[in-house]
Every structure is written in C-alpha cells, then in structure tokens.
C-alpha cells in the first residue's frame, strides 16, 4: 500500500492484485495532489485557532499551538485579531496584525516584529505585546479595567511557516 501524506494526514491506498483497473490512476492522482499541497501547506503551519483571554491582564499567556522549532522552521507569519471588552460594554478594544518571526542561526534564537492596527492605550502603547521563548509564542496584555468580560475577549490566529530546505 502506498502511503500518501497530505499535510499531517497519512492515507493508505490499496494497490494489491484485487485492485480495480483504474486503481493506478487514482493513486497517481492522489500522489500528485499530495505533492502539490506539500508546496502550499507546511506541517508546521498553524491552522486557525480561537483562544479566550480569561484574565484582564495576562503577563505571559501561551498561544496554544503556536510553537515553532527553529531547527525546522526559519520564518513564520502569524496573523491575529484580538478583541477585548468590559462586561458592561463601557470599553471594547480591537487589534489586528501580523507577527513575523525569523530564526537567527548565529544566536540560535527567534527575532520577532509585530505590525498591527487597532486601539492604543492613552500613553500610545499597544494593549498587547508578543514574546517568544522555548519556541512558543506568548501574549502579554495590558489591563483594560473591570468589569472585564473574560468570556467574549478572544484572540484568533493562524500562521504560515517557511521551512529549512533539505
């Protein structure tokens, strides 16, 4: 049975003597699709996720699933949208942007840059800040005050990666 991998899924195609006459063509088609998708989707890409921001102020919240192995990934682009609100609707903030990370092989560490649009604090600073440590992305959020709505305050994100070439 040929094993055909599409993304992280492995498909076992039958190819024994009892296969139908069209079986080789189907296998060839599936292999061509898998090869094409391998060039579009990386196994280290992050599929779209939504994470609730339970607390008003988060000093170091790990973005679940946003982990990049510097030995395999050289660059990532994490697109995100953050929405936070007070439960009395007296304040809502929204921010959206792209966090770009590049792995520096000289220092064996990630360098990141955040480009975003959205609300800012009175002092001009953003309500959020990203860091990366142990190959994981973390979010720090500044307090917006109570009564904080920890149910409807969320970050949604996904990421595309560039891999080390073989």
Query: Are 143 and 57 spatial neighbours (Cβ–Cβ below 8 Å)?
Result: yes
Reported as type and span, the H/E element at residue 26 is helix 23-40
CA atoms within 13 A on the CB side of 38: 12
Long-range contacts of range 114-119, CB-CB < 8 Å, 24 or more positions apart? 118/82, 118/93, 118/94, 119/93, 119/94, 119/95
Mention every residue, 6+ apart, whose C-beta is less than 8 A from residue 32: none
Please name each of the domains of the chain with its CATH number: 3-40 (no CATH), 46-163 (2.60.40.1680)
Query: Are 158 and 49 spatial neighbours (Cβ–Cβ below 8 Å)?
Result: yes
DSSP 46: E
Mention every residue, 6+ apart, whose C-beta is less than 8 A from residue 132: 68, 101, 110, 112, 138
pLDDT, position 22: 61
Query: Are 122 and 93 spatial neighbours (Cβ–Cβ below 8 Å)?
Result: no
Handedness of CA 34, 35, 37, 38 (dihedral sign): positive
pTM of the model: 0.77
Instruction: Please tell me the distance from the alpha carbon of residue 154 to that of residue 71, in angstroms, as a whole number.
Output: 31
Buried b (16+ CB within 10 A) or exposed e, 57-72: ebeebebeebbbebee
Per-residue pLDDT of the chain (166 residues; tens, 9 = 90+): 677 776 666 777 666 656 566 677 677 777 777 777 666 678 889 999 999 999 999 999 999 999 999 999 999 999 999 999 999 999 999 999 999 999 999 999 999 999 999 999 999 999 999 999 999 999 999 999 999 999 999 999 999 999 876 4
Instruction: Please tell me the distance from the alpha carbon of residue 80 to that of residue 116, in angstroms, as a whole number.
Output: 9
């Amino acid at each position: 049975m040929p094993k055909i991998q599409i993304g992280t899924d492995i498909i076992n195609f039958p190819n024994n003597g009892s296969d139908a006459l069209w079986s080789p063509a189907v296998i060839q088609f599936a292999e061509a699709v898998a090869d094409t998708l391998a060039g579009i989707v990386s196994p280290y890409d992050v599929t779209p996720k939504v994470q609730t921001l339970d607390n008003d102020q988060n000093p170091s919240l790990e973005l679940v699933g946003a982990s990049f192995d510097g030995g395999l990934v050289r660059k990532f682009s994490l697109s995100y949208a953050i929405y936070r609100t007070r439960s009395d609707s007296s304040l809502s903030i929204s921010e959206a942007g792209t966090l770009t990370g590049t792995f520096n092989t000289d220092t064996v560490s990630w360098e990141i840059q955040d480009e975003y649009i959205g609300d800012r604090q009175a002092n001009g600073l953003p309500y959020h800040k990203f860091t990366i440590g142990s190959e994981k992305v973390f979010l720090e959020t500044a307090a917006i005050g109570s009564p904080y709505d920890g149910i409807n305050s969320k970050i949604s994100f996904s990421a595309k990666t560039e891999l080390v070439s073989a």
